[in-house]
């Protein structure tokens, strides 16, 4: 009898120990609200929307302690549209993220699967578009530099992230085309580095896509993970911010270079403008975009904050010099650690673009394009994290 009780006690202890060394967490975030836009295709519009600031997702993430500072890690995440229950990435079971890998405390983390790119990981958090206090609507025009974390998730990716050493973190990635005899067709690669020390945060990165959009490769039109359709897309970025007391101020620059561009995805219409839908104009040839962003966030109280950002985007397109002015203001109030309410307004104006091109129409991220060169949107919403 004593031996039986001892066996039960020991097995229970081992079960508790094993449980303590591994974990699986269900998590998610819901963002929903109402939005007014002064011009979408020539008409004003009231909409019930989701993911105006942050992606609405649910997912599973886990870690198992393998001993010696080594862990098996994974994440499976699905984005969805709250207002109708549809998948954010059509046809993808876990379109937002799906990866598995090994994490070593002294050597870093190696992951495999569908993941955000390295520049998004390190430079994105310095922008208004990647944060709760700005979000998806505050992204740079056409989300041209992949810094807002709302759309471009890369397939077939092998990614390495270093441990933080004296405030420095380094990441690099390669996304395979998975095509026999066409190794470079729809592949991606990049690297990024960040430095954090006290109130100072700095980051820089580079990212490249080759022939984005082809089926089975790094980013595709099938699930709309390809933002631009182009022979080659190269992105450089650099940014930093500084926190003093309740205020954080930041500056970000990014340069996007597109060769033989033919289309850009519109979240509001669900189509590739300039490609299979040219109703808003054409897109053909080389396109260069430089984004200059200044942002600020100020915490009035632990629960109430105000924030703002301004981005000037200078372009070069087939001999023309289009320019965009994008401004965002937001106030946010948290009623608990997991639930908050926000009010946000975004204004965009474009000038200097050819009248028959996609670029001539203002298009705030997540919304259908304006019929003119300006667009204003105001949204009120709530977020709940679990």
Q: What is the pLDDT of residue 151?
A: 74
Among residues 342, 364, 330, which one has the least CA distance to residue 38? 364
Coil, helix or strand at residue 105: coil
pLDDT of residue 13: 38
pLDDT, position 316: 98
Residue 338 forms part of a structural domain = yes
In a domain, 275, yes or no: yes
Looking at residue 8, its pLDDT comes to 39
- Parent domain of 187: 33-385
Radius of gyration of the chain (CA): 22
Q: Is residue 26 part of a domain?
A: no
pLDDT value for 295: 98
Evaluate whether residue 27 is within a structural domain.
Answer: no
Model-wide pTM > 0.85: yes
- Residue 21 inside a domain? The answer is no
CATH code of 372's domain: 2.40.160.10
Q: What is the pLDDT of residue 5?
A: 38
pLDDT one-digit tens code per residue, 243-285: 999 999 999 999 999 999 999 999 889 899 998 777 789 999 9
3-state DSSP assignment of residue 336: coil
Residue 178: per-residue pLDDT: 93
What residues of the chain score a pLDDT lower than 70?
1-20
Neighbours of 152 (CB within 10 A): 25
User: Edge-to-edge strands of the sheet including 271-273?
Assistant: 228-229, 263-266, 271-273
Q: What is the C-alpha to C-alpha distance for residues 263 and 276, in angstroms, rounded to an integer?
A: 8
Neighbours of 298 (CB within 10 A): 15
pLDDT at 152: 87
Residue 244 domain-assigned (yes or no): yes
pLDDT score recorded for residue 93: 87
Taking only the tens place, the pLDDT of each residue in 93-118 is: 899 999 999 999 999 999 999 999 99
Write out the two tokens for 258: 């597109």
What is the spatial distance between Cα 140 and Cα 127, in angstroms, rounded to a whole number?
10
Total domains in the fold of the chain = 1
Instruction: Flag whether 37 is in a domain.
Output: yes
């Amino acid at each position: 009898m004593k031996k039986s009780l001892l066996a039960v006690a020991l097995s229970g202890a081992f079960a508790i120990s094993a449980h303590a060394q591994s974990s699986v967490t269900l998590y998610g975030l819901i963002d929903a609200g109402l939005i007014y836009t002064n011009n979408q295709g020539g008409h004003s519009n009231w909409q019930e929307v989701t993911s105006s600031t942050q992606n609405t997702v649910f997912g599973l993430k886990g870690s198992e302690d393998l001993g010696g500072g080594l862990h098996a890690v994974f994440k499976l995440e699905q984005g969805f549209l709250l207002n109708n229950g549809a998948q954010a990435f059509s046809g993808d079971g876990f379109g937002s993220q799906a990866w598995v890998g090994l994490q070593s405390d002294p050597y870093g983390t190696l992951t495999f699967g569908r993941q955000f790119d390295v520049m998004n990981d390190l430079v994105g958090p310095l922008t208004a578009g990647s944060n709760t206090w700005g979000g998806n609507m505050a992204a740079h025009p056409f989300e041209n530099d992949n810094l807002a974390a709302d759309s471009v998730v890369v397939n077939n990716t092998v990614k390495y992230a270093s441990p933080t050493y004296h405030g420095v973190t380094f990441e690099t990635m390669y996304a395979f085309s998975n095509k026999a005899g066409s190794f470079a067709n729809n592949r991606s690669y990049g690297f990024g580095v960040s430095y954090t020390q006290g109130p100072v945060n700095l980051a820089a990165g580079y990212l490249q896509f080759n022939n984005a959009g082809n089926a089975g490769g790094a980013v595709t039109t099938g699930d709309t993970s390809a933002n631009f359709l182009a022979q080659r897309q190269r992105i450089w970025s650099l940014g930093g911010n500084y926190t003093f007391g309740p205020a954080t101020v930041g500056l970000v620059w990014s340069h996007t270079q597109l060769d033989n561009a033919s289309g850009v995805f519109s979240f509001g219409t669900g189509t590739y403008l300039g490609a299979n839908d040219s109703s808003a104009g054409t897109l053909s040839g080389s396109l260069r975009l430089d984004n200059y962003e200044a942002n600020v966030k100020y915490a009035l109280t632990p629960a109430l904050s105000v924030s703002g950002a301004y981005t000037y985007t200078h372009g070069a397109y087939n001999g023309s010099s289009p320019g965009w002015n994008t401004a965002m203001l937001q106030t946010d109030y948290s009623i608990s650690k997991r639930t908050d309410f926000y009010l946000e307004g975004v204004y965009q104006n474009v000038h200097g673009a050819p009248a028959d091109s996609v670029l001539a129409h203002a298009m705030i991220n997540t919304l259908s394009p304006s019929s003119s060169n300006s667009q204003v949107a105001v949204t009120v919403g709530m977020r709940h994290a679990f």
